Amino acid sequence: MTSPQHAVLKQFLVAATGPLAERRPRLPAMRLFAELLAFGQFTPWNVFVEDTDVEGIPAEWVRPANPAAGRVLLYLHGGGYVLGSLNTHRSLVGRLAQKCGVTTLAINYRKAPEYPFPAALEDALTAYFWLLNQGYAPADIIVAGDSAGGGLALAVLLALRDADEPLPAAAVGLSPWTDLQLPTSTLRSLSHHESLLLEALEIRSWGPLYAAGTPLSHPLVSPARAGLHGLPPLLLQVSDAEVLSDDVRRFADQARAAGTTVTLQIFDGLVHWWHLFWRFVPEADVALDRVADFTRQVWATPAAIPAPGVDPTRQAA
**Identity at 96, one-letter amino acid code:** L
Q: Backbone phi, then psi, for 76, in 5-degree steps?
A: -120, 115
Burial annotation 176-204 (CB, 10 A radius, 16+ → b, else e): bbbbbbbeeebeebeeeebbbbbbbbbbe
22: β partners = none
Cα pseudo-dihedral 298, 299, 304, 305, rounded to 10: 60
The active-site residue out of 147, 222, 239, 245 is: 147
Omega within 30 of 0 (cis) for the link into 118? yes
**Are the C-beta atoms of 92 and 275 separated by less than 8 Å?**
yes
Q: Is 91 a catalytic residue?
A: no
**Rounded-to-integer distance, Cα 202 and Cα 21, Å:** 8
Positions annotated as catalytic residues are: 147
